[in-house]
Amino acid sequence: MNNLPTITILGAGYVGLTTGSILAQAGYQTYLIEPNQKRLATIKSGRSFFFEDGLDTLIEKGLKTKMLLPTDSYAHSIPQSDIIFSCVGTPDNPDGSPNLEYVFEAAKTALQYLKPKAIYVQKSTVPVGTGNRLIDIFAKSGLKVDYLSNPEFLREGTAIADTLYPDRIIIGGDSSAAISTLTDLYRRVELNRQAIAELSGIANQAKVCRYISTELSSAELIKVTANAFLAMKISFANSIAILSDQVDADVVEIMDGIGLDPRIGTAFLRAGRGYGGGCFPKDVSGLVSSAQDHGVELKLMRSTQEINAKMPGYIIDKLKTRLTTLKNKQIIILGLSFKAGTSDTRMSPGIALANICAKNQASITVFDPIVNREDLDQLDTSTRIVDSISELPANPDAIIIATEWPEFCNFTPTQIINLLGKEGILVDAINAYNPKSLAQYDIRYIGVGRRS
């Protein structure tokens, strides 16, 4: 066995499983604690319980080399570990504040087995001030534990590439020795990243990572602030899209025009059905709630939430105006994951669009190339789910493209006509198509802030 630190990851979700699988390939003995027995069994079989391109290969290799050790036992893993990464979930409470039950439960359970001078690294997204509360808990135990905040910036669908080729590594805390140890860990990942990328089938990148050490509170705020800002850009684009619909302008042209300004850029200025997933909605609501706790009202972020929440309904209202009513209309929804490249349906705009149509008594058929049926319990029970495009009903009244899967964004005009029939309407909820090009084929089109 090498002399590298032994690692334990608490929680095998998107962050934990990806991080643990990569650390194992970088040469670290990595325990992966997952209390959910169904998920644990899937991981032990060499597979991820969610879709992430290239991850299964890393898991399988880690199991074979015995460098990745999935378990549900704190007692078996924590006493042997020098660095513990907390990657547990922080779901929303009903009031929008983050539920920290798992964060504190994981820390208190780990504390029973931590060895002296262990480093406890918080990767879960938590409100500012959480770290100080956990430091107090560790201090009262009498055990010397170094606590660091190390927020993650991986994106579902590109989690491996984002972990291997990050823009920056943020480490917040007071212990320079612990920060140095964690920095060394990530530098070792950097040294091995080309081989790990090749193993997982991810393209190698020539990217320089910046290592930034900060105050603990700053690190806690950086992650949620970054996501809140990106969410705000999406809602800004959508607010201009709504205006564009009223003045016969094209929001894609507008966003391209302002995005050429290097101070602005084009990223996340894509108007459409709004953002979803497990990060943006939660991080925006968590930031608003955290600010309220400290007597600060973030009106800009509340507006971001309000605009995002209205977009699915706004799009369906445009369709209702064209069709007069949705009652008994045949509507197809293409895409149920919140974005392409992932099977995650949390806060999915596609599901929101389907449910609004169902509420209007439409007949709904949905298809997604990756999402599993068991992850669609949020769908209205009247919805029909099919497993391929060939199973979609002929001559629908409308097809709504809700997720930017390549197979949905690259239809030829002939394919669109074959799917729609003569009278159907293409509702482009992600603005993937050029309405002027489709007009040449007499395809009826509704976009978001597009001239149609």
Q: 253-275, pLDDT tens digit by residue?
A: 999 999 999 999 999 999 999 99
- Return the pLDDT at 94: 84
Angle at 267 between CA 263 and CA 272, to 5 degrees: 130
Helices 130-141 and 101-111, packing angle to 10 deg: 20
Residue 206: pLDDT band (50, 70, 90) is confident
Name, in order, each residue with C-beta under 8 angstroms of 64's C-beta and a sequence gap of 6 or more.
none
What is the arithmetic mean of pLDDT over 238-266?
97
pTM for the full predicted model: 0.91
What is the arithmetic mean of pLDDT over 403-417?
96
Catalytic residue among 209, 279, 357, 409: 279
Residue 35: pLDDT band (50, 70, 90) is very high
Helices 216-247 and 130-141, packing angle to 10 deg: 160
> Are the beta carbons of 120 and 178 closer than 8 angstroms?
no
Q: Residue holding tokens 């991981």? A: 43
Burial 395-429 (b: 16+ CB within 10 A, else e): ebbbbbbbbbbeebbebeeeebbebbeeebbbbbb
- Return the pLDDT at 30: 98
Please write the tens of the pLDDT for every residue from 108-122.
999 999 999 999 999
Q: Is the pLDDT of residue 97 over 90?
A: no
Average pLDDT over the chain reads 95
Q: What H or E segment, with its residue span, contains residue 62? A: helix 55-65
Top CATH class, 249-446: alpha beta
Higher local confidence (pLDDT), 157 or 368: 368
| Residue 442 burial (10 A CB sphere; 0-12, 13-18, 19+) | exposed
Please write the tens of the pLDDT for every residue from 133-189.
999 999 999 999 999 999 999 988 899 999 999 999 999 999 999 999 999 999 999
Report H helices in 266-332: 280-293, 299-323
- Return the pLDDT at 340: 94
- Return the pLDDT at 432: 97
Amino acid at residue number 53: D
- Return the pLDDT at 406: 96
Residue 95: pLDDT band (50, 70, 90) is confident
Q: Cα(315)–Cα(236) distance, rounded to whole angstroms?
A: 16
Domain ranges of the chain: 7-214, 249-446
Q: Cα(95)–Cα(127) distance, rounded to whole angstroms?
A: 14
Please write the tens of the pLDDT for every residue from 19-31.
999 999 999 999 9
Q: Is the pLDDT of residue 452 over 80?
A: no
Kindly report the number of other CB atoms within 10 A of residue 199's CB atom: 16
- Topology of domain 7-214, per CATH? Rossmann fold (3.40.50)
Does the annotation count 357 as an active-site position?
Answer: no
Name, in order, each residue with C-beta under 8 angstroms of 26's C-beta and a sequence gap of 6 or more.
188, 189, 191, 192, 196
Q: Is the pLDDT of residue 1 over 70?
A: no
C-alpha distances (whole Å) from 395 to each of 304, 390, 423 are: 37, 13, 7
φ, ψ of residue 327 to 5 degrees: the values are -60, 125
